[in-house]
């Protein structure tokens, strides 16, 4: 075998037996995935909705705000219900109208910037008060010259000059109040207004605030408020009238029983004021106490 060939063969064997050095790929710095959270302000209940607001996102790559709602504090995009998405960085408010009275809700907002979500804002909660809807509570609705939604008993069959009528001169709220007039100087003719409350609106074992405004041109008298059906009866007296013509707020609390029965109860404001007198009421409310 020629010497040159042997030398070439030996060098080839040596090189093939030597371990190759691995190629090291340089590490690429990880993308910073931190997205600044926003601050969710205190939730505010207003009539039939929850008002929500939050601070503006400072992220230059802002895509959207995602607002979640849940019935417990363990709220995140998996457990919570997505109720609103805003793609305008300046859109900082939302009204949640899909709520149930007597329920507690928790809210949290997430920011998406690029393809990354924030860790989630602070959590705010609010309990929506239970509510009993009084129809035409301010006496603003008049149909065919009669007070809508209310049954009105002025007892004019006892004394034809007794009356209950709309007064659009001096209202505590809105345009109208309800004016009672008792004509007889010696007897007391009972006068009242009432309406039926759907049983489905009333929650058992719940505390409610009952309120209305009143004023009069005489001192004294008597009256009461009733919520009753065949299975339960809640009744309480209202204060004596003060004859200075100044609106006063009457407010008390009631607690509904565990058993409401099966029929819609009657809500009644009842008076027995002796003498030739006038008195007014306005702005009737029944709301759940917080």
Q: What is the DSSP letter of 87?
A: -
- Cα angle 180, 147, 161 (rounded to 5 degrees) comes to 35
Residue 47: partners with Cβ closer than 8 Å, 6 or more residues away? none
Name the residue with higher pLDDT: 106 or 20: 106
The CATH number fitting domain 132-288, selected from 2.60.120.260, 3.30.70.920, 3.30.70.20, 1.10.150.650 = 2.60.120.260
Average pLDDT score over residue span 127-133: 85
Could you tell me the pLDDT band of residue 290, with boundaries at 50, 70 and 90?
Answer: low
Residue with tokens 């009539």: 47
The pTM of this model reads 0.67
How far apart, in Å, are the Cα atoms of 128 and each of 45, 47, 76, 104, 121?
Answer: 7, 10, 21, 6, 22
Which residues touch 250 (CB under 8 Å, ≥6 apart)? Answer: 211, 212, 213, 214, 238, 239
Q: Percent of the chain beyond pLDDT 70?
A: 88
163-167 vs 233-237, strand pairing mode: unpaired
Do the Cβ atoms of 67 and 91 come closer than 8 Å?
A: no
Average confidence (pLDDT) over 257-284: 96
**Tens-place pLDDT, residues 189-236:** 999 999 999 998 898 998 999 999 999 999 999 999 999 999 999 999
Q: Is the pLDDT of residue 22 over 90?
A: no
Mean pLDDT of 127-150: 92
For 50-108, what is each residue's pLDDT tens digit? 999 999 999 999 999 999 999 999 999 999 999 999 999 999 999 999 998 888 999 99
Helix (H, G, I), strand (E, B) or coil at 3: helix
Q: What pLDDT does 102 receive?
A: 81
Please state, rounded to an integer, the average pLDDT across all residues of the chain.
88
- Residue 2: the pLDDT is 52
**Torsion sign (Cα): 217, 221, 224, 230:** negative
When pLDDT is cut at 50, 70 and 90, the band that residue 123 belongs to is very high
Q: State whether residue 210 is helix, strand or coil.
A: strand
Q: What is the pLDDT of residue 9?
A: 45
Please give the residue that has the higher pLDDT: either 133 or 74.
Answer: 74
State percent of the chain over pLDDT 90: 74
Statement: residue 43 has pLDDT above 70: yes
What's the pLDDT at 141? Answer: 96
* β-strands 146-147, 142-143 pairing: antiparallel
Give residue 236's pLDDT: 95
Q: Assess whether pLDDT exceeds 50 at residue 159.
A: yes
pLDDT at 7 over 90: no
pLDDT at 241 over 60: yes
Q: Which residue has the higher pLDDT, 24 or 243?
A: 243
Domains of the chain, by residue range, sit at: 44-128, 132-288
Confidence of residue 27 (pLDDT cuts 50, 70, 90): very low
DSSP 8-state code for residue 217: S
pLDDT band at 288 (very low <50, low <70, confident <90, very high): confident
Answer whether 44-128 and 132-288 agree in fold.
no
CATH of 44-128, one of 1.10.1660.10, 1.20.1240.10, 2.60.40.10, 1.10.760.10: 2.60.40.10
| 9 phi, psi to nearest 5 deg | -65, -40
pLDDT (0 to 100) of residue 28: 35
What gap in Å lies between CA 185 and CA 194, rounded to an integer?
Answer: 25
């Amino acid at each position: 075998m020629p010497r040159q060939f042997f030398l070439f063969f030996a060098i080839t064997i040596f090189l093939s037996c030597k371990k190759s050095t691995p190629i090291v790929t340089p590490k690429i710095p990880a993308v910073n995935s931190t997205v600044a959270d926003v601050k969710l302000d205190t939730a505010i209940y207003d009539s039939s909705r929850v008002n929500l607001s939050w601070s503006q996102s400072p992220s230059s790559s802002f895509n959207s705000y995602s607002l979640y709602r849940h019935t417990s504090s363990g709220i995140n995009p998996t457990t919570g219900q997505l109720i609103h998405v805003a793609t305008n960085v300046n859109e900082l408010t939302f009204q949640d109208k899909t709520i149930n009275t007597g329920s507690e809700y928790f809210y949290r907002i997430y920011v998406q910037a690029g393809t990354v979500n924030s860790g989630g804002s602070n959590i705010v909660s609010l309990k929506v008060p239970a509510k009993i809807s009084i129809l035409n509570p301010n006496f603003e609705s008049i149909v065919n010259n009669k007070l809508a939604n209310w049954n009105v008993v002025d007892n004019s069959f006892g004394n034809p000059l007794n009356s209950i009528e709309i007064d659009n001169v001096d209202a505590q709220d809105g345009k109208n109040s309800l004016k009672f007039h008792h004509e007889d100087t010696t007897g007391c003719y009972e006068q009242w207004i009432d309406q039926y409350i759907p049983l489905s609106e009333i929650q058992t074992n719940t505390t409610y605030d009952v309120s209305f405004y009143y004023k009069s041109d005489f001192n004294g008298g008597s009256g009461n408020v009733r919520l009753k059906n065949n299975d339960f009866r809640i009744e309480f007296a209202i204060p004596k009238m003060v004859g200075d013509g100044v609106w006063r707020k009457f407010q008390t609390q009631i607690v509904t029983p565990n058993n409401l029965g099966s029929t819609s109860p009657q809500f009644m404001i009842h008076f027995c004021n002796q003498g030739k007198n006038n008195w007014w009421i306005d702005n009737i409310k029944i709301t759940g106490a917080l």
